[in-house]
Amino acid sequence: MSSLILIISVLIGALIVLYLKPNTKFVRLLLAFSGAYLLSVTILHLIPEVYIETSDSKKIGILIILGILIQSILESFSKGAEHGHVHIHSEKNQFPWLLFVSLSIHAFTEGLPIHDHGDHQHNLLWAIFIHKIPIAIVLTTFLIKAKYDKKTVALFLVFFALMSPLGMYVSEKVTFLHKYHAEIIAVTIGIFLHISTIILFESSENHKFNFQKFTAILLGILLTVFTL
């Protein structure tokens, strides 16, 4: 069920582009909402739970920092697609391999700590679900504007949608990874902190107060506080 939810999130993003053709303002508001939700889940749920799961707080802290660094490296190749901005000028006939590989690694690592049981997993699952929708919107928009053929766009999105479920499958089948569940969560926390804070920082244009974006951020926080 969790795998299907993650796949549906990418499908929703693609369908929004194809049928609703959202403008930039809508996408930015959705990004602000998803960034606030992701950050709230990370702070209110993931961080406390991972420190409860293990007594080695220093190791967890180091792994969180490692997650931040890993995401920084991935974004040097994806050019910011994980937080809603694809700064790539690609030729029509040249497949964006760096974008594809970096996003696939990012999505795969997101799926590693997810299982089909526990409140912790429920929180993480829905955080990733909401995070993936605006990313799928931005990706689909980029691929269409870059004038890739429909087959290329579909294959890109299908592989991207399957990466997180693949991470889930690997984490469940490779028993060696079960021993390091807390460590995997810690790295994921670092990745989420990096992505969500950048989304929120970029949601403010010229450091001016924007009531609509502030409302979207507040809704993301409140949804986490009162529903998870």
Q: CB of 217 within 8 A of CB of 30? A: no
Average pLDDT over residues 31-58: 91
Q: CB of 53 within 8 A of CB of 182? A: yes
CA distance 90 to 163: 23
Look up the pTM and report it: 0.87
89-93, 181-185, 186-190: range with lowest mean pLDDT: 89-93
Residue with more model confidence, 1 or 61: 61
Average pLDDT over residues 58-63: 96
Question: Of the segments 22-26, 124-128, 171-175, 183-187, which one has the largest average pLDDT value?
Answer: 183-187
Percent of the chain with pLDDT over 90: 47
Average pLDDT over residues 46-67: 93
State the pLDDT confidence band at 38, using cuts at 50, 70 and 90. Answer: very high
Average pLDDT over residues 166-184: 89
State the pLDDT confidence band at 177, using cuts at 50, 70 and 90. Answer: confident
Percent of the chain with pLDDT over 70: 88
pLDDT at position 83 is 67
Average pLDDT, the chain: 86
35-49, 66-80, 115-129, 156-170: range with lowest mean pLDDT: 115-129
Q: CB of 26 within 8 A of CB of 152? A: no
Flag whether pLDDT at 216 surpasses 80: yes
Flag whether pLDDT at 120 surpasses 60: no
State the pLDDT confidence band at 222, using cuts at 50, 70 and 90. Answer: very high
| Cα dist from 126 to 3, 8, 129, 154, 222, whole Å | 12, 12, 5, 24, 14
- Residues whose CB falls within 8 Å of the CB of residue 78, separated by 6 or more in sequence, listed in order: 86, 98, 99, 102, 103, 106
Token pair recorded at residue 198:
């950048």
Flag whether pLDDT at 24 surpasses 80: yes
Angle between helix axes 181-202 and 119-145 (nearest 10 degrees) is 50
pLDDT tens-digit readout, 69-110: 999 998 888 767 766 666 555 555 577 888 888 889 989 998
